């Protein structure tokens, strides 16, 4: 009893995790950011259930979280773990009441999850046939307007020729059947969404490393037809041949990006904003979480950006949130963005282990 009591005292005396320093963040006039939850270690992709539950994948934690805001005050008052012991379950997608979770070579399904948050069901395999490599093995997930599950298969390297099993985006039926290649020549996409109106799929792609501080750029791409090739590993950012794999190739043979996002910014989660809370200029714009560079002389990224479009043409590319990195030191790394029904937007941060909520009040 005495030993147990001593241990309890030690636990109670441990300092609480420091709250993220949100006062360091900068947003356009009228925008505000607040902590939605600070209890989500390694927070990665976000998905929204029909009952309002926010599901969050994770990286090193190996867990999937369910966040609930029971009183509607814009702050999650409960965080549950609905799956654990998984390998890099960064991807989560909600479909027909079920939660789909990526785990490198596997995709799992938790049935009727919002009715069983306190006693989650055992994850059922949808497929276990995906590649097993851990390098770029984490997978962002999303269901398209066609009801199919879209799954990226990243290159298992910084630079190599991984075709035909890697470096692409595929789709499958919700039960794991009917695999089909959607797009090729993709190094590693960790964010994609469908444009309202055109219903075309747009995605971010991370450029290769070890070609210098400023080349190549990350990419924002639009898929106009099934089977398009976006250049990797032969051509980067639409106009830079790879020094090794680009020999004998021509960049004009591949689809160039719609927008160069900047070198090493690590562009990850992206969504089209269709809400009504933000100013009208944000409707139909793309919000992109840029995780931030790891090997650049001077850091880049560490921000959330807004891309305004006119159809498929970029009108502007400007910050929504900056300040996660200051004086070459980062305290936060944004990973994903998720609009909510009220028009606010959630942002996940795996470094701070948090999810933030961005609102607009003029």
The tens digit of pLDDT for each residue in 308-318 reads 999 999 999 99
Mean pLDDT value across residues 152-169? 97
251-284 confidence digits (pLDDT tens): 999 999 999 999 999 999 999 999 999 999 999 9
Whole-model pTM above 0.75?
Answer: yes
How far apart, in Å, do the first and last CA atoms of the chain sit?
Answer: 57
Q: How far is CA 52 from the centre of its chain?
A: 19
Angstrom distance (rounded) from CA 106 to CA 101: 8
161-183 confidence digits (pLDDT tens): 999 999 999 999 999 999 999 99
Residue 46 confidence (pLDDT) above 80: yes
Which alpha helices (H) appear in 22-178, and where do they start and end? none
Residue 81 confidence (pLDDT) above 80: yes
Rounded mean pLDDT of the chain?
Answer: 95
Query: Is the CB of residue 213 less than 8 Å from the CB of residue 296?
Result: yes
Multiple choice CATH, 29-360, 2.60.40.3880, 3.40.50.2300, 2.120.10.30, 3.30.70.270: 2.120.10.30
Residue 1 confidence (pLDDT) above 60: no
Residue-range domain boundaries for the chain: 29-360
Percent of the chain with pLDDT over 70: 95
């Amino acid at each position: 009893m005495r030993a147990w009591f001593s241990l309890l005292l030690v636990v109670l005396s441990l300092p609480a995790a420091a709250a993220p320093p949100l006062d360091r963040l900068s947003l356009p006039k009228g925008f505000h950011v607040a902590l939605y939850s600070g209890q989500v270690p390694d927070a990665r992709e976000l998905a929204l259930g029909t009952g309002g539950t926010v599901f969050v994948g994770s990286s090193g934690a190996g867990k999937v979280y369910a966040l609930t805001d029971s009183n509607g005050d814009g702050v999650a008052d409960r965080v549950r773990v609905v799956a654990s012991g998984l390998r890099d379950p960064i991807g989560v997608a909600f479909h027909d009441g079920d939660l789909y979770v990526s785990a490198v070579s596997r995709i799992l399904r938790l049935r009727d999850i919002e009715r069983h948050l306190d006693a989650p069901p055992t994850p059922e395999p949808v497929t276990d046939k995906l590649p097993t490599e851990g390098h770029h093995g984490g997978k962002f997930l999303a269901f398209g307007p066609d009801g199919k599950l879209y799954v990226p298969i990243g290159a298992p390297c910084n630079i190599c020729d991984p075709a035909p099993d890697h470096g692409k985006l595929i789709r499958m039926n919700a039960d794991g059947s009917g695999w089909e290649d959607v797009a090729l020549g993709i190094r590693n996409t960790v964010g994609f969404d469908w444009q309202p109106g055109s219903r075309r799929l747009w995605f971010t792609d991370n450029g290769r490393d070890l070609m210098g501080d400023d080349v190549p750029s990350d990419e924002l791409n639009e898929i106009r037809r099934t089977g398009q090739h976006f250049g990797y590993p032969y051509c980067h950012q639409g106009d830079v041949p790879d020094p090794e794999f680009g020999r004998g190739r021509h960049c004009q043979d591949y689809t160039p990006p719609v927008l160069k996002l900047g070198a090493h910014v690590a562009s990850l989660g992206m969504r089209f904003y269709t809400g009504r809370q933000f100013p009208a200029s944000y409707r139909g714009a793309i919000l992109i979480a840029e995780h931030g560079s790891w090997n650049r002389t001077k850091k880049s990224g560490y921000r959330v950006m807004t891309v305004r479009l006119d159809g498929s043409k970029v009108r502007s590319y400007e910050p929504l949130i900056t300040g996660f990195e200051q004086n070459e030191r980062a305290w936060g790394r944004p990973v994903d963005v998720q609009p909510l029904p009220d028009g606010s937007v959630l942002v996940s941060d795996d470094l701070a282990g948090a999810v933030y909520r961005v609102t607009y009040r003029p």
